[in-house]
């Protein structure tokens, strides 16, 4: 009972703490900014000097960290003390609950350490593993259009009857930002919605590879295989990144066969159709063609309008039709950019306390159009940085603390944050599974060095040029 009471108390604590933070933030930012970026945040948990808060999506975290870092740091210091920490969680109740329960378990251990009373631990009904399904990816908010008709219909069918259709594997391909991840995540969410006990996992092929390498290094390759072979549905995103990773492909091949033979659902995405995946093992390519392959094409004007309208509604903001039309007309090839321009528009209107008008829309569209650049991968950045510092690439992924290795690692993390759209979590995964706070720390350390020390600035500028120009 005591445990439960503490948790309830704790909830009140976190509310109080966040309220105090909010009142300070309110003094430091314009009202519209406050309403847009800070009011939607919910306090989740407070323990010692850490306050955990929930934000509606990961864009919030990146935006807040980029624009309000100084304000936040001051507020945290004042309210939570010098060692105070604010931890962000992206809106997902299940996750939040699970973490709360983990904390209960940890706390109960502490509380009852010296006593004979056995703590009453709340049963954790959730999966034992992280499914990486993001609740916002649903069929409901996936707009149907000419370019995605087949892919969407097939995805819905699979969501309803996973493993029981002939669409196994389901292979979906198409260009960047057209909704592949959204659709395959929506399948996973649907499967879970229909049957909670089904084991579903979503993983990018990059994360799959990183995990595999970790498993090999720690002698757990069999465990790794068994884990995936035990799924009811396995969703792997951007399978093209398995190209050149022979050993990972080998293990994946066996996992694929086991699942397929057992009638378990396999869902894959890629930027190209299977037979164009040059460099991928032939036997995998032929397996990929056994089920259904569907492509996603860029959305037509009507679909783009519908997507924008839907998004604006979901943000609770009314935007005049001519402005939406202007955006849908000018951003044609990529839904992510379409959404990006809408977010930019909302953000700049909120930041400058300006009405949403055509001039602002034009600016947002232009920024998206000029910000377009070739995709730079974290692996590529690591390669260039390591070469420059003459450090073995493997060392930056290991727990090596040699000075030159640490510097190379931090610079590579810093540039990965600057030059790719990867989240802190993904970046951490690429450096031996470090967590996102390590990446933030690296980022801040290098940023500090850049202001304190000209030679570091020169090195980082040189590296940045090399990477952006694609020269080693
Ligand atoms: P991909 O994986 O193909 O690069 P994503 O699935 O990440 O693309 O989609 C990019 C963004 O566009 C996501 O936020 C997604 O929700 C959104 N999106 C893509 N297609 C649609 C659609 N038809 N309806 C609504 N949102 C979409
Ligand atoms: Mg994707």
Question: Ligand 1: which residue has its CA nearest to atom 4?
Answer: 177
Contacts of residue 209, defined as CB under 8 A and 6 or more positions apart, other chains included, come to: 241, 242, 245, 248
Helices and strands (DSSP H and E) totals, the chain: 21, 8
Could you say which ligand is closest to the alpha carbon of residue 335?
A: 1
- Ligand 1 atom, smallest distance to 141 CA: 25
- How far is the centre of ligand 1, averaged over its atoms, from the C-alpha of 63 (Å)? 20
Q: Which of 203, 268, 313, 335 to mutate to test the pocket of ligand 1 (most atoms within 8 A of CB)?
A: 335
Segments in the chain below pLDDT 70: 1-12, 32, 57-59, 91-127, 370-375, 469-472
Position of tokens 């920024």?
A: 367
Of all protein residues, the one whose alpha carbon is nearest to atom 25 of ligand 1 is 142
Helix segments in 89-148, DSSP class H: 93-111
The secondary structure of 319-331 as a DSSP string is: --HHHHHHHHHH-
- Topology, domain 146-296: Rossmann fold (3.40.50)
pLDDT (0 to 100) of residue 417: 93
The closest ligand to the CA of 299 turns out to be 1
What ligand 1 atom has the least distance to the C-alpha of 144? 23
Looking at CATH, the fold of the domain delimited by 301-368 is given as Helicase, Ruva Protein; domain 3 (1.10.8)
Beta pairing class for 265-270 and 233-237:
parallel
The alpha carbon of 345 and the centre of ligand 1 are apart by a number of angstroms equal to: 18
Residue 469: its pLDDT value, please? 63
pTM value > 0.75: no
What pLDDT is stored for residue 420 in this prediction?
83
Q: Which ligand lies nearest the alpha carbon of 175? A: 1
Q: Tell me the C-alpha distance between 78 and 21, whole Å.
A: 9
Q: Token digits for 435? A: 């967590």
Residue with the smallest CA separation from ligand 1 atom 9 is: 179
**Pairing status of strand 200-204 against strand 233-237:** parallel
Atom of ligand 1 nearest to the CA of 182: 6
Q: What is the pLDDT of residue 30?
A: 75
* 378-469 CATH, one of 1.10.3720.10, 1.10.1750.10, 3.40.50.2300, 2.40.160.60: 1.10.1750.10
Q: What is the pLDDT of residue 380?
A: 83
Which ligand has the minimum distance to the alpha carbon of residue 241? 2
Contacts of 70 (CB under 8 A, 6+ apart): none
In the chain, what's the furthest Cα-to-Cα distance? 70
The four Cα atoms 419, 421, 423, 429 give a dihedral, to 10 degrees, of: -60
CA angle 382, 465, 239 (to 5 degrees): 40
**For residue 137, how far is its CA from the centre of ligand 2 (angstroms)?**
12
The pair of structure tokens assigned to 286 is: 């032929």
| Contact (Cβ atoms closer than 8 angstroms) between residue 87 and residue 32 | no
CA-closest residue to ligand 1 atom 21 = 179
Q: 117 C-alpha to center of ligand 2: Å?
A: 49
For residue 362, the model assigns a pLDDT of 87
Ligand 1, CB within 6 Å, residue ranges: 141-143, 148, 174, 176-182, 307, 335-336, 339
Number of other CB atoms surrounding residue 46 within 10 Å: 21
Nearest protein Cα to ligand 1, atom 18: 179
Domain boundary assignment for the chain: 2-112, 146-296, 301-368, 378-469
pLDDT at 450: 92
Other residues' Cβ atoms within 10 Å of the Cβ of residue 218: 10
Q: Is omega for the bond preceding 407 within 30 degrees of 0, making it cis? A: no
CA dihedral for 340, 342, 346, 349, sign (positive or negative):
positive
**Distance in Å, CA 85 to ligand 2 centroid:** 31
Superfamily of domain 2-112: DnaA, N-terminal domain (3.30.300.180)
Residue in the structure block whose two tokens are 């704790």: 10
């Amino acid at each position: 009972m005591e445990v439960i009471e503490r948790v309830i108390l704790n909830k009140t604590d976190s509310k109080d703490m966040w309220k105090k933070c909010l009142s300070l933030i309110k003094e430091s930012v314009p009202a519209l900014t406050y309403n847009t970026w800070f009011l939607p945040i919910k306090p989740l948990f407070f323990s010692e000097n850490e306050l955990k808060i929930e934000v509606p999506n990961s864009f919030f975290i990146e935006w807040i960290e980029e624009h309000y870092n100084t304000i936040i740091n001051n507020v945290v210091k004042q309210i939570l003390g010098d060692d105070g920490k604010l931890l962000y969680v992206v809106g997902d109740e299940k996750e939040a609950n699970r973490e709360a329960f983990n904390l209960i378990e940890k706390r109960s251990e502490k509380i009852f350490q010296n006593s004979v009373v056995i703590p009453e631990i709340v049963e954790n009904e959730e999966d034992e593993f992280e499914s990486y399904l993001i609740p916002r990816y649903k069929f409901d908010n996936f707009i149907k259009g000419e370019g995605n008709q087949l892919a969407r219909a097939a995805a819905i069918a699979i969501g309803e009857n996973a493993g029981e259709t002939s669409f196994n594997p389901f292979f979906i391909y198409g260009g960047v930002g057209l909704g592949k991840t959204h659709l395959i995540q929506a399948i996973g969410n649907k499967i879970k919605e229909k049957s909670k006990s089904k084991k579903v996992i979503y993983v990018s092929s990059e994360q799959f590879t990183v995990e595999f390498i970790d498993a090999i290094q720690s002698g757990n390759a069999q465990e790794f295989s068994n884990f995936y072979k035990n799924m009811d549905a396995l969703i792997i995103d951007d399978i093209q990144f398995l190209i050149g990773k022979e050993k990972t492909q080998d293990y994946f091949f066996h996992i694929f066969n086991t699942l397929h033979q057992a009638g378990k659902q396999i869902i894959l995405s890629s930027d190209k159709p299977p037979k164009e995946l040059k460099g991928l093992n032939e036997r995998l390519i032929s397996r990929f063609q056994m089920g259904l392959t569907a492509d996603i094409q860029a959305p037509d004007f009507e679909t783009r309008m519908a997507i924008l309208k839907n998004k604006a509604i979901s943000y609770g903001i009314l935007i005049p039709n001519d402005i939406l039309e202007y955006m849908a007309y000018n951003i044609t090839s990529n839904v992510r950019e379409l959404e990006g321009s809408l977010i930019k528009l909302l953000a700049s209107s909120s930041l400058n306390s300006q009405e949403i008008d055509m001039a602002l829309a034009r600016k947002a569209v232009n920024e998206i159009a000029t910000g377009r650049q070739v995709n730079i991968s974290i692996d590529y950045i690591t390669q260039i940085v390591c070469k420059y510092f003459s450090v073995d690439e493997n060392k930056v992924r290991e727990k090596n603390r040699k000075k030159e290795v640490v510097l190379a690692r931090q610079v590579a993390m810093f540039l990965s944050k600057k030059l790719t759209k990867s989240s802190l979590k993904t970046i951490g995964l690429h450096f031996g599974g470090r967590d996102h706070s390590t990446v933030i720390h690296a980022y801040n350390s290098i940023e500090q060095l850049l202001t304190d020390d000209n030679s570091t600035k020169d090195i980082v500028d040189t590296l940045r040029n090399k990477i952006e120009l694609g020269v080693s």
